[in-house]
Amino acid sequence: EAQVTQNPRYLITVTGKKLTVTCSQNMNHEYMSWYRQDPGLGLRQIYYSMNVEVTDKGDVPEGYKVSRKEKRNFPLILESPSPNQTSLYFCASSLGTPKLGEAFFGQGTRLTVV
Amino acid sequence: DQQVKQNSPSLSVQEGRISILNCDYTNSMFDYFLWYKKYPAEGPTFLISISSIKDKNEDGRFTVFLNKSAKHLSLHIVPSQPGDSAVYFCAASADFRNDMRFGAGTRLTVKP
């Protein structure tokens, strides 16, 4: 079954404590990205990767890091989380541009930073 | 700067009736538009898309209309069913980019 798997689904952490949200896809997709969803703002792209070792900033990259060492995995790293990073996070993967095929999203990670 | 806008946060319709969800965009470079549906506790799933060379695309009960001159698209669901109750996101992309810009979403409630 084609899927994007994120872990954990829920996370409560304290300000400044480093955390990693994992993302893995089994579709051999080259393009992966991270979004955050906030009320009234929809989905905003944090970082994206066009292939292994190729990553770039999206619209809201501040406070986040990513890495793409393997094609299937694209972890999101918060080195020093702050309360304004409390949000619902989604990982997505696709073949490439939307015209090539739809993006598949993970189930989401709800992060609360206190 | 929200380049894709969904001005109606919510919409409620009766089962069997038509649901019309609207979306406006500002960037004239956008040439591909998509709708994603999201249920609670799940990730968004692709619903339907349309290229800027078309003004209509239909898939079963779902039809997307594009008016390029007005920079406006709409999603029609006919007939609406209770299982269609979800948040619908409009998204747009430009030809040379992989990323999509999303609207804020519209929560559709279909009442039995």
User: pLDDT digit string (tens) for B32-41?
Assistant: 999 999 999 9
Give the gap in angstroms from C-alpha A79 to the nearest C-alpha of chain B. 25
Mark which residues 79-98 of B lie under 8 Å from A by CB. Answer: 89, 91, 93, 95, 97-98
Q: Which amino acid is at A68?
A: R
Provide the shortest C-alpha distance from residue B1 to chain A (in Å): 10
Given a cut of 90, whether residue A1 has pLDDT beyond it is: no
Contacts of B4 in chain A (CB under 8 A): 42
- Is residue A4 within 8 angstroms of chain B, CB to CB? yes
Cα angle for residues A93, A102, B29 (degrees, 5° grid): 100
Cβ proximity of A65 and A20 under 8 Å: no
What's the rounded Cα separation, in Å, for the pair A93 and A109? 16
Going by pLDDT thresholds of 50, 70 and 90, the confidence category of residue A17 is very high
Whether the CB of A95 is below 8 Å from some CB of chain B: the reply is no
Q: What SS3 class is residue B72?
A: strand
| pLDDT, mean over chain A | 95
What is d(CA A63, CA A46) in angstroms, rounded to the nearest whole number? 10
Q: What is the per-residue pLDDT across A92-107, written as a single tens digit (0 to 9) for each?
A: 999 888 877 889 999 9
Is there a contact between A55 and A69 (Cβ–Cβ < 8 Å)?
Answer: no
A105·B2 Cβ contact <8 A = no
Interface of B with A in 1-40 (CB under 8 A): 2, 4, 6, 9, 32, 34, 36
- Per-residue pLDDT of chain B in tens (112 residues, 90 and over written 9): 789 999 999 999 999 999 999 999 999 999 999 999 999 999 999 999 999 999 999 999 999 999 999 999 999 999 999 999 999 999 999 876 778 899 999 999 999 9
Q: Work out the mean pLDDT of chain B and round it to a whole number.
A: 95
Which pLDDT value is given to residue A55? 94
If you average pLDDT over residues A85-98, what whole number do you get? 93
Quick one: closest CA in A to B104, which residue? A42
Q: Which of A5, A31, A97, A110 to mutate to test the interface with B (most CBs of B within 10 A)?
A: A97
CB contact under 8 A, A90 and B2: no
Report how far apart the first and last C-alpha atoms of chain A are (Å, whole number): 36
Which chain A residues have a beta carbon less than 8 Å from that of B45? 105
CB contact under 8 A, A98 and B102: no
Q: Do A42 and B105 touch (CB under 8 A)?
A: yes
